[in-house]
């Protein structure tokens, strides 16, 4: 019950931030020197009357606060305007693209957490031994290598040279042929993973390295804690100490890190989608900028920011769930 109240409280807290995001993005887009219509029509012969028509069509003839209000109210009613390039509602264009991005980002995080936490613990347990040094070097390479270059290298090695994985595209789990049956669905999932594997590693490596570093320091700190000494004095086995006492406390900063890492990962998705030619939100953002389709640019940027904010709230709630010390606001 208390956790539920905390959840609602955190979501309520996020409202000003979400409003702020829309203000910042709206200001950016209206900051353009010269008006967007002229940029859109640059290099084409357009009559003055047609310019006026275009301005009226995209609502650019009205004062800025009215336009902001239109945009905001449209956002909450699901009406994000019309895409100039696709000539379809923006929400429809985005619905088709959001799946691949979410699949990519979530699987990258899954990969990062599943590999980083055991490696971080191992490094902390065998501090200053060869396995610690190796995992630290791996982490150093991970935080120093651009994700898109990892992607390019993976494509060169595993797709071009060895031919083990496809170099482009993504298959969605929910796109299975409807008459496939159980075994057909199984092979469809294999295909999904087959396509997902390389981009997932490219995007997840930075997260993996970051989490691994923090996990290691936290575990080292945690293993030197008073409660661990006490548990040892009571004769609790090292295994139990590692698994129960030290581990749980050490996870708290890691949870925060996962939430904040979502920001980097969503940005990284733009690059990964470009390298692996995946039709996700990131590609849509870049393409829409190229096509001067500013309605789409604005909406994609806002949605990606909203996804990040929601991700941070979820990790905050997870934090509160794991950490018994957190009071859920309101002086409880």
Tell me: does residue 227 bind another protein (CB under 8 A): no
Residue number with CB closer to another protein (28 or 185)? 28
Number of residues that bind another protein (CB under 8 A): 52
Least distance from another protein to the Cβ atom of residue 224, Å: 10
Angle at the Cα of 191 from the Cα atoms of 152 and 259, rounded to 5 degrees: 60
For the segment 19-58, give every residue that binds another protein (CB under 8 A): 20-21, 23-25, 28-34, 39, 42
What is the distance, to the nearest Å, from the Cα of residue 112 to the centroid of all Cα atoms in its chain? 13
DSSP, collapsed to helix, strand or coil, labels residue 96 as helix
Residue number with CB closer to another protein (91 or 263)? 263
Least distance from another protein to the Cβ atom of residue 210, Å: 10
DSSP for 133-181, written as a single string: HHHHHHHHHHHHS-HHHHHHHHIIIIIIIS--S-SS----GGG--TT-H
**Residue 140: Cβ within 10 Å count:** 12
Least distance from another protein to the Cβ atom of residue 206, Å: 8
**229-246: burial string, b at 16+ Cβ within 10 Å, e else:** eebeeeeeeeeebbeebb
Determine the Cα–Cα distance for residues 264 and 243; give it in Å rounded to an integer: 30
The one among 9, 53, 69, 141 contacting another protein by CB under 8 A: 141
Residue number with CB closer to another protein (192 or 258)? 258
For the segment 144-173, give every residue that binds another protein (CB under 8 A): 144-149, 152-153, 155-156, 160
Tell me: does residue 184 bind another protein (CB under 8 A): no
Q: Which stretch binds another protein (CB under 8 A): 52-60, 168-176, 182-190, 269-277?
A: 269-277
For residue 218, with 0-12 CB atoms within 10 Å meaning exposed, 13-18 middle and 19 or more buried, which class applies? buried
Tell me: does residue 9 bind another protein (CB under 8 A): no
The one among 37, 108, 266, 284 contacting another protein by CB under 8 A: 266
Least distance from another protein to the Cβ atom of residue 205, Å: 12
Q: Which stretch binds another protein (CB under 8 A): 3-11, 57-65, 76-84, 259-267?
A: 259-267
Residue 167 and residue 275 in contact, taking contact as beta carbons nearer than 8 Å? no
Angle at the Cα of 195 from the Cα atoms of 191 and 198, rounded to 5 degrees: 140
Residue 178 and residue 206 in contact, taking contact as beta carbons nearer than 8 Å? no
Residue number with CB closer to another protein (21 or 192)? 21
Q: Where does this chain bind another protein (CB under 8 A)? A: 16-18, 20-21, 23-25, 28-34, 39, 42, 140-141, 143-149, 152-153, 155-156, 160, 262-264, 266-268, 270-271, 274-275, 285-286, 289, 292, 297, 301, 304-305, 308-309, 312
């Amino acid at each position: 019950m208390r956790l539920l109240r905390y959840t609602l409280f955190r979501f309520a807290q996020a409202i000003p931030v979400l409003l702020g995001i829309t203000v910042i993005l709206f200001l950016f887009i209206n900051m353009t020197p010269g008006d967007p219509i002229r940029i859109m029509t640059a290099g084409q012969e357009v009559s003055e009357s047609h310019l006026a028509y275009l301005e009226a069509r995209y609502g650019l003839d009205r004062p800025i606060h009215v336009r902001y209000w239109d945009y905001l109210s449209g956002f909450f009613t699901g009406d994000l305007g019309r895409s100039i390039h696709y000539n379809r509602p923006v929400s429809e264009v985005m619905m088709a693209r959001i799946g691949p991005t979410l699949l990519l980002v979530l699987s990258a995080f899954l990969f990062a957490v599943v590999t980083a936490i055991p490696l971080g613990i191992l490094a902390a347990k065998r501090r200053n031994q060869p396995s610690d040094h190796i995992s630290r070097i791996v982490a150093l390479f991970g935080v120093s290598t651009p994700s898109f270059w990892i992607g390019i290298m993976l494509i060169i090695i595993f797709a071009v040279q060895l031919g083990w994985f496809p170099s482009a595209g993504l298959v969605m789990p929910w796109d299975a042929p409807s008459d496939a049956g159980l075994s057909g669905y199984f092979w469809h999932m294999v295909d999904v993973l087959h396509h997902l594997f390389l981009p997932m590693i490219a995007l997840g490596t930075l997260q993996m390295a970051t989490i691994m570093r923090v996990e290691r320091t936290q575990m080292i700190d945690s293993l030197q804690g008073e409660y661990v000494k006490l548990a040892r004095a009571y004769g609790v086995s090292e295994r139990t100490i590692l698994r129960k006492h030290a581990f749980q406390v050490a996870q708290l900063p890691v949870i925060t890190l996962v939430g904040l890492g979502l920001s980097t990962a969503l940005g990284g998705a733009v690059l990964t989608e470009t390298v692996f030619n995946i039709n996700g939100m990131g590609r849509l953002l870049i393409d829409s900028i190229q096509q001067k389709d500013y309605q789409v640019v604005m909406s994609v940027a806002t949605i990606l920011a909203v996804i990040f904010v929601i991700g941070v709230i979820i990790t905050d709630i997870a934090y509160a769930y794991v950490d018994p010390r957190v009071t859920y606001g309101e002086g409880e």
